[in-house]
Amino acid sequence: MAQVSDLRFLVTPGGSLQGRLRVPGDKSVSHRSIMLSAIAEGETHITGFLEGADALATLAAFRRMGVEIEGPRDGEVRVRGVGLRGLRAPDGPLDLGNSGTSMRLLSGLLAGQSFPTTLIGDASLTKRPMRRVTEPLATMGARINSSETGTAPLHIEPVSGLSGIRYEMPVASAQVKSSLLLAGLYAEGETCVTEPAPTRDHTERMLTAFGYPVQVEGSRIRLCGGGRLKGCRLRVPSDISSAAFFMVGASIAPGSDLLLEGVGINPTRVGVVNILRLMGADIALLDERLEGGEPVADIRVRSAPLKGIRIPEDQVPLAIDEFPAIFIAAACAEGETLLTGAEELRVKESDRIQVMADGLMKLGIEAEPRPDGLRILGGTLGSALASEGGGIDAHGDHRIAMSFAIAALRAGGPIEIRDCLNVETSFPGFAALAETAGLGIREVRT
Ligand code: S3P
């Protein structure tokens, strides 16, 4: 069979989103469910696991280190943990594809092993900054070689031991925090990480679910090495980052009324709800409950007129993956929206400030990129067809592709988006699910 080299979305304008949907499992929680269950003692039974390429890359990496894993089948996975010291040397480099979370968290988890590993990734991952983890890991005693610019491939050398550190993170990054905590499991003494602003706390919550003591006091997270994780049952909530496209879509498309079932509403992830509500969105959290240590709710979204806002900087880390979708909301809002304090968006799967500004301008929206954010003047979205020289380039970034697909709900003509294959990394089945809700989307593979 010929290899698919590109996936394009062709989306017809207009329509509304209706009905009940369940988006796939949370990517961050899925990664951690495999990592922690692999180094736990005994079996872990996971449900709701995200069968997207990123989480599957993590799963494949642990299989190659000798962990027996059954599934995933319909989101169900059984992992037979090998204990903290039971991983085996893989027979070659571990390819983590597009996944920054896999690479940064595995750097920490593998830094204290008695065997070497090499971590590699695709062109996008190979450009992303890794010094933010390799430098503090080095102060713990890790030996990790990267390229001259501090990027992958990462060669992790075996060491006889790590020692705990006290580390004040210069950037608000859950990946850095998690990487150091995972290394801390293997370190002598205490590892204490302080974050400059709250970031997603799935690692801390899940360590607790595995019976590993973690102390959280305000912005400080501490643990001691050498303990044990005990296999358990885990339920992965639906991913609020995937639900975000539908929250924006239902908000901007007149006549929409959509229910998103079982979505994770961890307080460190709800920035998108807070920001959209500030813009005037009609979002209700229903039947709030706790599932497997994570808060979950059904989210009802009805269309509402949106207004531009100055996005509060304290919401940035809480909505860090949702800005591409939020920018679409801003483009459909009345007046100006200003985002500042979000330079991290420039080093995600693509430079999300520039790539979103370019796409919005193609649709006729005034968008001014700034070093740390973006100013958007809401207006009327036009069309974007490649044949007319105006298709949107997703730059291989899953969230850019899905954001512009949703934008078609309010566009004046069809929108064509290229380089969408990586939607598979976080949201397999996006187009089919969006279509059942009312989006006129067609996939073209070439
Ligand atoms: C993630 C943390 C975030 C986020 C990424 C997943 C995680 O990155 O952007 O998609 O699972 O820890 P940073 O913590 O580096 O901002």
| CATH code assigned to 27-235 | 3.65.10.10
Closest CA to 320 of 346, 289, 284, 281: 346
Answer yes or no: is the C-beta of 201 below 6 A from any ligand 1 atom. Answer: no
* pLDDT given for residue 270 in this prediction: 98
What is the reported pLDDT for 50? 98
Q: Is there an atom of ligand 1 within 6 Å of 343 CB?
A: no
pLDDT for residue 388: 78
Tell whether ligand 1 has an atom less than 6 A from the beta carbon of residue 47.
no
**Annotated catalytic residue within 26, 201, 321, 393:** 321
Please state, in angstroms and rounded to a whole number, the distance separating the CA atoms of residues 138 and 182: 14
**Mean pLDDT by 10-residue block, N- to C-terminus, for the chain (446 residues)?**
85 98 98 98 98 98 98 98 98 98 98 98 97 98 98 97 98 98 98 98 98 98 98 98 98 98 98 98 98 94 98 98 98 98 98 98 98 98 86 97 98 97 98 98 96
Type of residue numbered 155 = H
Distance in Å, CA 320 to ligand 1 centroid: 8
Nearest residue to 53 via CA among 426, 439, 430, 441: 426
- Minimal-distance CA residue to ligand 1 atom 13: 173
Distance (angstroms) between ligand 1 centre and the Cα of 219 equals: 17
Do the strands 41-47 and 76-82 form a parallel or antiparallel pair, or are they unpaired?
antiparallel
* pLDDT in the model for residue 2: 63
Task: Tell me which of 31, 34, 58, 175 to substitute to probe ligand 1's pocket, judged by most ligand atoms within 8 Å of the beta carbon.
Answer: 175
Atom of ligand 1 at shortest distance to CA of 348? 9
Strands of 190-194's sheet in order across: 166-168, 190-194, 220-224, 215-217
Catalytic annotation present for 321: yes
Q: Is 107 in the pocket of ligand 1 (CB under 6 A)?
A: no
Q: Which residues are annotated as a binding site?
A: 27-28, 32, 100, 128, 173, 175, 321, 348, 352, 399
Peptide bond into 72 cis (omega under 30): yes
Q: Tokens 């992790």 belong to which residue?
A: 156
Q: Which atom of ligand 1 is nearest to the CA of 32?
A: 11
320 CB within 6 A, ligand 1 = yes
Q: What homologous superfamily does CATH list for 7-25+237-445?
A: Enolpyruvate transferase domain (3.65.10.10)
Which regions of 303-352 does DSSP assign to beta strands (E)? 336-339
The pair of structure tokens assigned to 267 is: 């307080």
Closest-lying ligand 1 atom to the alpha carbon of residue 31: 11
Task: Determine the pLDDT at residue 1.
Answer: 53
Could you tell me which residues are annotated as the binding site for 3-phosphoshikimate? 27-28, 32, 173, 175, 321, 348
Query: What pLDDT score was predicted for residue 317?
Result: 97
Pocket test for ligand 1, best of 58, 103, 106, 173 (most atoms within 8 A of CB): 173
Binding positions for phosphoenolpyruvate: 27, 100, 128, 175, 352, 399
Comma-separated ranges of CATH 3.65.10.10 domains in the chain: 7-25+237-445, 27-235
CA dist 41 → 23, 36, 109, 321, 349 (Å): 31, 10, 16, 33, 34
- CA 385, 424, 58 angle in degrees (round to 5)? 150
Supply the pLDDT for residue 188.
98
Please, is 331 exposed, middle or buried when counting C-beta atoms within 10 Å of its C-beta (0-12, 13-18, 19+)?
A: buried
Ligand 1 atom closest to residue 203's alpha carbon, by position in its atom list: 12
